[in-house]
Structures are given as C-alpha cells and as structure tokens.
Structure 1
Amino acid sequence: MPAPALSVTNLALSYDGQRLVHPLTFSMQAGECVALLGASGSGKSLTAAALTGTVPDGITASGEVSFGGEPGIGAWKVAGRTTATAANAALIRQDPQSSLNPLVPVGKQLLMPLRRAGFRRTDAWTHAARFLAQAGITEPAAILPRYTGELSGGQLQRVCIALALACGSRVLVADEPTTALDAVTQAKVLATLRTWGAEGRSVLFITHDLSAAASLCSRALVMEGGRIVEEAPMTELLCTPRHPYTRRLVAAATGALPLAAPATLKTAVAA
C-alpha cells in the first residue's frame, strides 16, 4: 500500500488549558475525498487550521502530521504554533475574503505562489488564468485585474480554489467552501473539487451539509465536541449511522431534528 497522502496522529488543540479538539488520528489516501462532518463549534475549523499551519493566536496544539509519508519537511510534529508548509496542504476558508488581500488585484495574488515555484511571469499569468477557468470562472481574463471588492461571494470562493490550485498542494482542506453559495455556484465548486480528486490529489471536505458531502466524498468522519465519534463509508454512514450523534446529524439533514453544538466548545472558541 502506498503511504497516505495525509496522516494525522494524536492531533489535539487547546485554549487556555481547555481541550477543544481531543486527540485525533486518521489518514487519507491520494485521490481520496473525505468529509469531516459536524455542527458548528464541533472543532472542524480548528482541525483545518492545524492541518494547514494557521491555528489562531492563543491555541496550543500537539500531535504529528505527515504528508505522503515523507520524512523531514513532509512530516512535522505540531507543538505550540508550529506550521505546515503551503506545499503540503492548501486551505479554502469558509469566508473567502479572509484569504484574499483586498488591496492587491486577483491576478497578482495568484502569481505569488506560481512565481515562487519558478514560473516566468508570462507563463505564470497563463497558468493563473487556467486555474481560474478550472475553478469555474467563465471569463478569467476579466477577473485577473480586478480587486476582491468587485467580485461576488461565489466568484471569491472560486478565486480561493484557483489559489489553492496555484499552490500545487497535493492535499486540499476545504472548510465549508459551499455554505454561502447559491445552488448553481455550489454545484460548480463541487465539480471543481471532484476534478481535484480525479487528478490524484486529496480533499478533506469540511461541512455540515450532508447532501454536498454525499455528492463529493466516499468516506466520512463525524466530529462531536472535538472528538471523532464515527468513521464510515459515506453510503453506510447515511443509511446505517451507528453513533447517536451521527443519527441526529442524519435526521437533522432531513429536517427531523435540530442540531446544536456543544455550548462549552462554542464559548471557548469565541473567547
């Protein structure tokens, strides 16, 4: 068996002595799309931050993360605020505006990782336009010179996907990338993420939307109160959920039950 594209061992996150994410251990194979499911405040976004080296100030972390089983730069121990490199994993945040600089044109932001990768300026512009097209932007040449304030929420989200493509990462951590999008734009974003997986790269799709997760992912991890409480193939999880929380999550997706996050975790993250 090839080494996992992403391997996480005993990843834990705390704030002011309070454990927010309890030790997590899981892995993903190359080309695999895995859903990380749970209500708001369950620890999904904190996990995404830790995997991509963007944990907020005040959050302490521990554990080990390995990308592709490679020693050295591909494997690192999480201690305090130790960060992963962009070459390992790219993050799409649920708020795309927080990932983009409003004072720099979209094209120049896309050029930065491409130029760092060694592309000449002309070639970098060509690749930037191609990545925008792959992310579902129909007129990339018109978007490149524009600023984020001139774009819609759906366009900004697709620019963030293009930026992740430009980073050349083999693992994409997509944190609620479709939450604020209309149905048509959501379908385009999911199609782009499917292409990412078809090209042999891995997607950790963080969401509370079971419908979107089922359309993209073959396997799911369920988080409650900072713990993974169930792991199963997506079809099995939807048809025969085992954990009581997963059953509530599936029921909530049909409108049968409300789903509330643990109050203690919400309070700690907001602090």
Structure 2
Amino acid sequence: MFANYHTHTSRCHHAIGEDREYVEHAIAHGMKELGFSDHCPWVFDDGYISRIRMTPKEVEGYFRSLTDLRQEYASDIKIYIGFEAEYIPQLIEKQDRLLEDYPLDYMIMGQHFNDPETMGAYMGVPTSDERLLVQYVDHIIEGMESGRYLYLAHPDLLCFTGSDELYEKEFTRLCTYLKGKDIPLEINLLGLRDGRHYPCDKFFRIAQKVGNKAIIGCDAHFPQALSDEAPIEKCRRFAENYGLELVETLSL
C-alpha cells in the first residue's frame, strides 16, 4: 500500500499502541502517506463523554503528538492529521467550534450512528428497520454533499436483514451517488481480517454493477495492522474479485 488514511490511536479507548509505533510500522511497510483519523469527539449538551472516541480534552495532545511526528519523520513519510466522524447535523456546529483552531487536514465519514449515540442505534447491529436503511443512505449523501469528508469508511457497516429489494435499491442509490462524485468505496481491512459482516459480498456485488472504484482502509487499531501484508493482499484480491479499480492515494 502506498497510503492509508484510516488509522486510529489509543485515545479512542478501543485501539492500542503509541502514535510513533503506527508511523514506524507504516514506514516499514513502504507507505509514503499515513493519515491518522481517530474517532472525532462530539460535544454533548449534557456533558456526556463517549467511551468509543477521544474526549474533547484529548484533541490538543492528538494534534501536538502528530505534528511532532510529522516533522520528525518528514524525510520518510507524509503524515496527515484527520478524524473519522459520523454526519450528525445537530452536532456539527459544536464539533466545528471545537476543532476550528487546529490544523485539520481531512475527515472521513464513518456512519456508526445516524443520531447522537446517546439516543441512536449502532449501525453494525443486525436490523430489519427499513427507516434506518433509508436514513443511513440519506445521511451519507447529505454529509458528502457538505464537502466535509474525504471518503466513506466501511460503507456497508449497516447490517440490514430486511427486504432484499430495498437493500438493492438503497445501496444502488448510494453507490451511484459516490461514483458520480468519484469517491471510492472503502474495502475495510479490519472487517475482512476479523471476519465481520463487512466488507459485504451483497453490497460489493452492487458496487460491481455500478462500476465504483475502491480504496483499502486499514482501519488500524494496532500498529501491526499497517505492516501485515497478508490481510492487505486479501483486500486486493477482494477488489479483483469484484472488478473494482483500486485507488492508491487521495488528494489532500
């Protein structure tokens, strides 16, 4: 892999390893670009603190650490500082205020929730709720239209078990939109390596029909995920099986 833009840190409370270790494993694998995109904090009116993303107080240390590493390893690799975040319109303004003074390079969308996590369902849990499927696609398209996000992480995260006809209709709508915007679909290395419900064959058969491009996202939650060739090669074979052109790098 020439580049990876989906990299977490221990600040999200479900990843491990020091920031430096991620950089060094990326370099060892021959990467030329590494984008950090840890789970972006939200600012909740009631002071709720999420257990699955960094806290607002950790943002300063995140940027300081990665800025220092970017300078230290400048001759070896290009480091970008970003976040992975849902598109939740009612929380966007406070998130923007939180981040406005930091040198943010990019964001990727990871639509784990359609609503604030204190009141919404997690998209990775099996559901036959047709409303959730339509809302999931609506939110992603609306979010991409805002221009906030570089690409969509694990586009097939929603584990919909209902109508096959509606599944085909809605994800064809999503894939067609992303193709029109030249936004690649992520083949999620974490999901493929761990045998999760994504990357989903059913979803990528639709992508094959639509003619989408794809990008491998390591979704690294430990440093070795950036240097382990076997799952990376498995992602490449997955793309080949569905005839998807792989995008190696993105413009930032």
- TM-score normalised to structure 2 length: 0.41
Which structure carries more relative contact order (alpha carbon 8 Å, separation 6+)?
1
Higher strand residue share: 1
Question: Considering only CA atoms, is the larger Rg found in Structure 1 or Structure 2?
Answer: 1
